[in-house]
Amino acid sequence: MTLALGCIADDYTGASDLANTLTRAGLRTVQTIGVPADDLALPEVDAVVVSLKSRSIEAGLAVSRSRAADQWLRGRGAGHVLFKICSTFDSTDAGNIGPVMDALRADGGEGAVLVTPAFPETGRTVYQGNLFVGAVPLNESPLKDHPLNPMHDSNLVRVLARQSRTQIGLVDLATVTRGADAVRARLAELAGKGIGAAIIDAVFDRDLETIGLVAAEHRLSVGASGIGLGLARALVSTGKVKSAGANGETGIAVGGPAACLAGSCSQATLQQIANAERVMPVLHLDPDRIITGGGEAQRALDWARPRLAEGPVLIASSATPDQVAALQARHGRDAAGHAIEQTMADIAESLVKSGVRRLIVAGGETSGAVVDRLKIPGFLVGVEIAAGVPVLHAVGAQADMLLALKSGNFGGAEFFSDALRLMR
Ligand code: ADP
């Protein structure tokens, strides 16, 4: 199998967002958790997104992990690799965007790398090299106070130059508006001057398409899901990828019992649980007993096992803000959160051992704990249940199973039923 596109994402949620964007644009896409093993058996796909957690780690480590991911992707024929960063360019003068870009550029022998975090549909635009978040420049946005990567300069040419060993140029909007040939000429001019990377302006979706066309002719680019969208559209429009249609994989059915786990205490999830009570049995866990080791996981399994043959079940630790605050006051926030996440992971592991093959998890951290425990190396991204929440088909896992992993606030009031309808 030859990949049309390889992606290295510097965090998990960014990777999911990109994988979902590529799928909606018609690319069959697998998202992996970390750099996969060499023997991971991939289905026939167009793109792989390797999810790393390298945004805020030491730059040397980010470089070595990204290079390992790059090698894995190139080894599967990826002619182009996108280094996926945050659309708000989260980084510091120590990195990690510049050092990773420099290393991948050196490995791939790239001339001038196109760089843009623009993603107009989410309000990220770049003009004259300056990143805007909605209506304000980056350095006036809430990112100026980010705890790990405070962004005090909206001029990305300067920001990237401070992190990179190469000089940084600019491809401005006027050039992008003139089309792909004008961008190619400008890039050649910059490369001729020894400039190794260029911030490229983008304000509208059509700018991303122009950028994608040119970037796809190169070996490396750097940006957010916006340039991913541009690359995907370019690969489809030039016939390098035969579009799978905007729905991703819809036909897959694994059968087997279904279960839902909710660890999110968000307003949306609480409403979704209340609505699910009308259509499936729901067990509310006792969070105090979880933390004090009262055998809640076993109680949940004893409750679930006889019911699974009849239809889906839902097990929830979720509670109202008052109850959460009281529990945290008694046990400490981190200790409470961690204990509940691990119990959810225990329950998920035992449910899968009991034959569950369709698993829906509500809560970002909760999902992370469950996926880690199930040791799932990757997912083929399928049809969207709700905006940003696709059906996932496990790849290289011990059991053939479908999952849906939902951030607390995502999805409509009938989310659990909506998911089950699409996960057959
Ligand atoms: P979200 O996506 O809504 O942020 P997460 O799963 O990321 O959901 O975070 C929810 C956190 O709350 C987790 O750490 C989870 O273990 C914890 N939690 C779940 N139930 C309770 C509860 N009843 N009381 C306190 N904390 C809880």
- What is the distance between the alpha carbons of residues 17 and 154, in angstroms, rounded to a whole number? 23
Closest C-alpha to ligand 1, atom 18: 337
**What's the mean pLDDT when you consider all of the chain?**
94
Asked if domains 5-237 and 258-375+396-422 share a fold, the reply is: no
Out of 3.40.50.1370, 3.40.980.20, 3.90.79.10, 1.10.3720.10, select the CATH number for domain 258-375+396-422. 3.40.980.20
Q: Is the separation of the CB atoms in 40 and 61 below 8 Å?
A: no
Domain locations in the chain?
5-237, 258-375+396-422
Ligand 1 midpoint to CA 16 (Å): 20
pLDDT, position 256: 94
Q: Is the separation of the CB atoms in 314 and 276 below 8 Å?
A: yes
> What angle, rounded to 10 degrees, do the helices at 97-108 and 59-75 form?
40
Among 407, 395, 399, 424, residue whose Cα is nearest residue 28: 395
pLDDT, position 245: 62
pTM over 0.85: yes
Closest C-alpha to ligand 1, atom 17: 337
- What is the distance between the alpha carbons of residues 418 and 407, in angstroms, rounded to a whole number? 15
Model confidence at 144, pLDDT cuts 50, 70, 90, reads: confident
Mutate-to-test residue for ligand 1 from 12, 360, 366, highest number of ligand atoms within 8 A of CB:
366
Ligand 1 midpoint to CA 263 (Å): 5
Mutate-to-test residue for ligand 1 from 317, 330, 389, highest number of ligand atoms within 8 A of CB:
317
How would you write the chain as a 3-class SS string?
CCCCEEEEECCHHHHHHHHHHHHHCCCCEEEEECCCCCCCCCCCCCEEEEECCCCCCCHHHHHHHHHHHHHHHHHCCCCCEEEECCCCCCCECCECHHHHHHHHHHHHCCCCEEEECCEHHHCEEEECCEEEECCEEHHHCHHHHCCCCCCCCCEHHHHHHHHCCCCEEEECHHHHHHCHHHHHHHHHHHHHCCCCEEEECECCHHHHHHHHHHHCCCCEEEECHHHHHHHHHHHHHCCCCCCCCCCCECCCCCCCCEEEEECCCCHHHHHHHHHHCCCCCEEECCHHHHHCCCCHHHHHHHHHHHHHCCCCEEEECCCCHHHHHHHHHHHCHHHHHHHHHHHHHHHHHHHHHCCCCEEEEECHHHHHHHHHHHCCCEEEEEEEEECCEEEEEEECCCCCCEEEEECCCCCCCCHHHHHHHHCC
Tokens found for residue 46: 């167009």
Output the CA–CA distances (angstroms, integers) from residue 370 to 165, 253, 319, 413, in the order listed: 40, 21, 19, 23
Cα-Cα-Cα-Cα dihedral of 403, 406, 410, 414, to 10°? 50
pLDDT, position 251: 59
Q: What percentage of the chain reaches a pLDDT higher than 70?
A: 98
Closest C-alpha to ligand 1, atom 10: 264
Ligand 1 midpoint to CA 318 (Å): 7
- What is the distance between the alpha carbons of residues 219 and 230, in angstroms, rounded to a whole number? 15
Model confidence at 207, pLDDT cuts 50, 70, 90, reads: very high
Fold of 5-237: Rossmann fold (3.40.50)
Ligand 1 midpoint to CA 168 (Å): 43
Closest C-alpha to ligand 1, atom 12: 337
Ligand 1 midpoint to CA 57 (Å): 25
For tokens 């805020």, name the residue.
Answer: 56
Closest C-alpha to ligand 1, atom 25: 324
Closest C-alpha to ligand 1, atom 6: 363
pLDDT, position 398: 86
Ligand 1, residues at Cβ distance < 6 Å: 263-266, 287, 317-319, 324, 327, 336-337, 340-341, 363-366, 407-408
Which atom of ligand 1 lies closest to the CA of 287? 23
Ligand 1 midpoint to CA 195 (Å): 47
Ligand 1 midpoint to CA 36 (Å): 29
Average pLDDT over residues 211-232: 98
Ligand 1 midpoint to CA 297 (Å): 16
- How does pLDDT run across 271-324, given as a tens digit for each residue? 999 999 999 999 999 999 999 988 999 999 999 999 999 999 999 999 999 999
pLDDT, position 67: 98
Tokens found for residue 325: 């605050």
Ligand 1 midpoint to CA 1 (Å): 40
